[in-house]
């Protein structure tokens, strides 16, 4: 299996001296879906912002490398950075940060238009991305007027329109009602891309990601099958992770296999 | 995006955004320079009302819009009434109201996206001077989309304060609003960078 994402020895400290990452090593294979778990303050968001060079050694102090499908993130090489930003699609936690154009279709077109796509090709990208998240019927609406779940789906579409190698989702299920949460899961499961999903929603991680890693104290503390990690009570307690009341990961995983 | 736009199919709706902007700008200039003659100003008021009728917005709409301007009218009138003859004061008030009604007519009959596009096209000749029209247009449309977001922050803060029984306190309102807005700006910048704009 070729690697979509390779992180090696990643260290990072913010300019104010807060050390967040202490040597993260992580490889995600092409087409894999991986959940990134960890308590608040573990460095999950900092790690995500490194994946496309928004944060890099130069924005604080750091070391290590991030490779995206063979391209090394290098803040000095702007052309390569642009290509990396196309390949790594980050869906931010708050869709209101990500949606800023007058209509849904224009918002989805924004990224590909920046890549230089025009006319029929651009329209095709927009239609494809909106169809993938089942929002084609809302293409001419104002993003601000959609429901929260719909806005999150449009945010996913804005990233899919770039045809990314790897989709990075920051807390995709947060603030969603159960029905929107399930609809988003159905969509994410059908997408033919590598997925790295940051989440506190452990049942969601189990449902969508066969593999999970636990980030704690700026290091990868555990890496394995999601069901195995969630079934290890000591590991979970040790990293301030908690399953919802009554949730049995082994039972849920068996249910997942049978469907 | 603030949606003041009222969908319709009147001649004013069909007029392209660029020429419409130009016509309104010329009319506004004309009205501002009109001598304070009652007949001319009444004519201008009638013409604007006629334009609202043409746009299919009804005769009550300009009256409603004018009523919303009552505080502005009061400020304009009071600040001049002691220094200028009554006719001039009335003329100035009518000018201000008529120009604002004209400007509102554009917002009511033009989708914001088309207006931004028109402005982008108008700026294209400035490209050699270092102006990037698409960046200016992006900035404009982002400004417009951000207004309801910030209005939402303001409502949220007021609700939270009311729930805790805090009386109206400008500082206690402005500080959290400023912090939320700056946080939003930071996150928006990250999202823009992630989508390929530096």
Binding-face residues of B in 58-117 toward A, CB within 8 A? 111-113, 116
Averaged pLDDT score across all residues of chain B: 86
Question: What is the full DSSP assignment across chain B?
Answer: ---------SHHHHS-HHHHHHHHHHHHHHHHHS-S-HHHHHHHHHHHHHHHHHTT--SHHHHHHHHHTHHHHHHHHHHHHTTS-HHHHHHHHHHHHHHHHHHHHHHHHS-HHHHHHHHHHHHGGGGGGT--HHHHHHHHHHHHHHHHHHHHHHHHHHHHHHHTT----HHHHHHHHHHHHHHHHHHHHHHHHHTT--
Helix or strand holding residue A34 (H, E): strand A33-37
Assess contact for A197 and A209: CB atoms under 8 A.
yes
The answer to whether B56 faces chain A, any CB pair under 8 Å, is no
Find the closest chain B residue to A104 by CA distance: B1
CB contact under 8 A, A102 and B196: no
CB contact under 8 A, B191 and A98: yes
Assess contact for A58 and A121: CB atoms under 8 A.
no
Helix or strand holding residue A37 (H, E): strand A33-37
Find the closest chain A residue to B112 by CA distance: A102
Does this model's pTM top 0.90? My answer is no
Look at residue A76 in the predicted model and tell me its pLDDT: 83
Assess contact for A197 and A35: CB atoms under 8 A.
yes
What is the 3-state secondary structure of A161-176? CCCCCEEEEECCCCCC
CB contact under 8 A, B190 and A92: yes
CATH class of A3-92+165-258: alpha beta
N- to C-terminal Cα separation, chain B: 23
Cα angle, residue A11 at apex, residues A223 and B184 outer, rounded to 5°: 95
- What are B154's two structure tokens? 């303001």
Look at residue B1 in the predicted model and tell me its pLDDT: 37
Domain boundaries, chain B: 11-194
**Residue bearing tokens 């900035």:** B139
CB contact under 8 A, B113 and A103: yes
pLDDT digits (tens, 9 = 90+) for B13-62: 888 888 888 898 899 898 888 888 888 889 989 999 999 998 888 888 88
pLDDT digits (tens, 9 = 90+) for B123-134: 888 888 888 888
Confidence of residue B148 (pLDDT cuts 50, 70, 90): confident
Confidence of residue B143 (pLDDT cuts 50, 70, 90): confident
Q: Looking at CA atoms only, how far is residue B56 from chain A in angstroms?
A: 23
Q: Tens-digit pLDDT profile for chain A (259 aa)?
A: 578 899 999 999 999 888 899 999 999 999 999 999 999 888 999 999 999 888 988 888 889 999 988 889 888 888 888 889 899 999 998 888 888 887 899 899 988 988 888 889 999 999 999 999 999 999 988 888 899 999 999 999 999 999 998 999 999 999 999 999 999 999 999 998 999 999 999 999 999 999 999 999 999 999 999 999 999 999 999 999 999 999 999 999 998 887 6
pLDDT digits (tens, 9 = 90+) for B66-123: 888 888 889 888 888 888 888 889 888 999 999 988 888 888 888 777 888 888 888 8
């Amino acid at each position: 299996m070729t690697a979509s994402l390779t992180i090696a020895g990643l260290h990072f400290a913010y300019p104010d001296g807060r050390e967040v990452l202490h040597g993260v090593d992580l490889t995600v294979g092409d087409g894999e879906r991986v959940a990134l778990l960890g308590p608040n303050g573990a460095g999950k968001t900092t790690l995500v912002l490194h994946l496309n060079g928004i944060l890099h050694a130069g924005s604080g102090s750091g070391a290590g490398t991030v490779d995206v499908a063979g391209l090394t993130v290098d803040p000095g090489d702007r052309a390569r950075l642009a290509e990396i930003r196309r390949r790594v699609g980050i869906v931010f936690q708050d869709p209101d940060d990500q949606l800023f154009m007058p209509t849904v279709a224009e918002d989805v077109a924004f990224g590909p238009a920046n890549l230089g796509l025009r006319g029929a090709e651009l329209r095709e990208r927009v239609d494809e991305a909106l169809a993938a998240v089942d929002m084609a019927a809302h293409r001419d609406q104002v993003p601000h007027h959609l429901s929260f779940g719909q806005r999150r789906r449009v945010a996913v579409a804005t990233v899919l329109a770039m045809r990314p190698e790897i989709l990075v989702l920051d807390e995709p299920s947060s603030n969603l009602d159960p029905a929107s949460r399930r609809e988003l899961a159905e969509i994410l499961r059908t997408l033919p891309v590598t997925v790295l999903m940051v989440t506190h929603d452990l049942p969601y991680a189990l449902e969508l990601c066969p593999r999970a890693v636990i980030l704690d104290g700026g290091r990868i503390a555990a890496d394995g099958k999601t069901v195995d990690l969630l079934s290890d009570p000591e590991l979970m307690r040790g990293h301030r992770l908690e399953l919802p009341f009554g949730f049995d990961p082994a039972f849920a995983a068996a249910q997942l296999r049978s469907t | 995006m603030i949606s003041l736009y009222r969908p319709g199919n009147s001649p004013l709706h069909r007029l392209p955004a660029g020429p419409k902007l130009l016509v309104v700008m010329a009319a506004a200039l004309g009205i501002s320079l009109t001598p304070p003659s009652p007949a001319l100003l009444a004519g201008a008021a009638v013409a604007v009302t006629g334009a609202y009728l043409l746009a299919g917005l009804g005769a009550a709409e300009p009256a409603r819009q004018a009523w919303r301007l009552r505080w502005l009218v009061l400020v304009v009138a009071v600040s001049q009434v002691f220094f200028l003859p009554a006719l001039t004061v009335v003329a100035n008030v009518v000018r201000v109201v008529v120009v604002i009604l004209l400007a509102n007519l554009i917002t009511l009959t033009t989708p914001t996206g088309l207006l931004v596009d028109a402005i982008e096209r108008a700026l294209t000749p400035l490209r050699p001077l270092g102006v990037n029209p698409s960046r200016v247009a992006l900035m404009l449309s982002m400004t417009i989309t951000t207004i309801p977001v910030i209005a939402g922050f303001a409502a949220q803060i007021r609700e939270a304060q009311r729930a805790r029984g805090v009386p109206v306190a400008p500082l206690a309102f402005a500080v959290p609003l400023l912090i939320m807005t700056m946080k939003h700006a930071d996150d928006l910048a990250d999202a823009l960078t992630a989508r390929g704009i530096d």
